[in-house]
Amino acid sequence: MPGLIESVVESAALTWLERLGWTVKHGSEIAPGELVAERADFGQAVLERASATRCYPSSSPVSRR
């Protein structure tokens, strides 16, 4: 049996998240230094703005804290 291919897993995960109501953005759109950056640097794992919200805010990771 062949091993997992990262791009296939990533594509499936992004499709699944979009179907759940998440907005998927390309990393270069929200990278540090860009106009709509969502993190101060690449070491910051948690995004703070639009990428951390969903169509259903009560189900978002931010509201689960």
- pLDDT of 2-55, one tens digit each? 788 999 999 999 999 899 888 888 888 888 998 888 888 888 876 655 544 444
pLDDT at 47: 63
0.75 exceeded by the pTM? Answer: no
Instruction: For residue 36, count other CB atoms closer than 10 A to its CB.
Output: 10
| pLDDT (0 to 100) of residue 8 | 93
- Helix, strand, coil shares, percent, the chain, to 5: 40, 5, 55
Residue 57 in contact with residue 65, Cβ under 8 Å? no
How is the chain split into domains, by residue range?
8-64
Residue 65 — very low, low, confident or very high, per pLDDT cuts 50/70/90?
A: very low
| pLDDT for res 49 | 57
